[in-house]
Amino acid sequence: MAESGHGSYVEPEFERDTTYIEDRITAEAGPWPVEAGRYRLVVARACPWANRAIIVRRLLGLEDAISMGICGPTHDADSWTFDLDPGGLDPVLGIPRIKDAYLARFPDYPKGITVPAVVDVPSGKVVTNDFPRMTIDLSTQWTEHHREGAPVLYPEALRAEIDEVNQRVYTEVNNGVYRCGFAGTQKAYDAAYERLFTALDWLEERLSTQRYLVGDTITEADVRLFTTLARFDAVYHGHFKCNRSKLSEMPVLWAYARDLFQTPGFGDTTDFVHIKSHYYEVHRDINPTGVVPAGPDLSGWATPHGRESLGGRPFGDGTPPGPPPASERVPTAHNPHVGEDGLVTT
């Protein structure tokens, strides 16, 4: 199974299954209305697509409105499991694996069992696993439940540009690393490698004169790029053979990534132990032994980045989120820069 089920390993070239449950939770009347306490966001910290939803939920302060279930970093051919919870059952949904919520709604569900997924708690049925739409809807449909000072991550005036940037980042970077990692021939790998680093060079140039990807504040575009960058040296450089340069050897992107990492909501949702465990233990087709590497050194994530000189205001007219709930904090043993309050310390 592809990581979080969003693809299939086919030779000679990796192809991602992009067919999702397209239902939406909306502020307007409909089958799935916005309603505090009704839905549960199911994630795995290892998964970059789920990490997006974790970050956006935290930045917007939706913890009290949408509960969160966290799967373990590994899964079998069947589904992601709640092996981190007592008895191996999600404490709210009462199920051992997210597949059960999919089958509760679609008994013959034919597609990948993926995270992130939103589940309707009263019925136990999955609502959606459309992760690109999910984070946009958290920003635009759940505004009534946003915290005071929540940032505007998808501002109307910048949506066309955000969408354009997101499309290139998704095809060439977010998915590009997978295209390298699961290439079935040298030709496919070489083409994927060239595409990936062409895009990273474009990002280096774009971010050399502006602090954030679009506008002068953090937007949805920065969230989507960050989750790939956070995994680059730990996984993609070696495991996926994306090895022209480490992130730490690309000065602009490395400074940009550290800037975001040190911003509340980003680094404090990053679990390096879960990330490495997932990729190296689950992807036995490219890492048959399942051995998880000890490195890389993570100390650099806390070093000064100097991006303040480019101006910009991380949260615009808003404010940073406070500490995450105790039950949702990344253990310091999994991210050495997370303090006892769950926030990144530098």
Catalytic center residues:
47, 178
Indicate left, alpha or beta for 148 from its phi (over 0: left) and psi (-120 to 50: alpha): beta
DSSP for 234-275, please give it: IIITTTT---S--GGGSHHHHHHHHHHHTSTTTGGG--HHHH
Task: Show contacts of 28-32: CB within 8 Å, 24+ apart.
Answer: 32/120, 32/127, 32/128
- Compute, in degrees rounded to 10, the torsion defined by CA atoms 338, 342, 344, 346: -70
Task: Output the six-digit token pair for 87.
Answer: 């008895």
- What is the distance between the alpha carbons of residues 264 and 300, in angstroms, rounded to a whole number? 17
* Distance separating the N- and C-terminal Cα atoms of the chain: 37
* 149 contacts: CB under 8 Å, gap ≥ 6: 61, 315, 318, 319
Output the 3-class SS for 28-86.
Answer: CCCCCECCCCCEEEEEECCCHHHHHHHHHHHHHCCCCCCEEEEECCCECCCCEECCCCH
Confirm or deny that 32 is annotated as ligand binding: no
Tokens of 175: 């998915």
> Any idea what the Cα angle at residue 225 is, between residues 223 and 229, rounded to 5°?
115
| C-alpha distances in Å from residue 107, one per residue of 2, 95, 120 | 22, 15, 16
- Provide the annotated binding site: 80
- Provide the annotated binding site for glutathione: 80
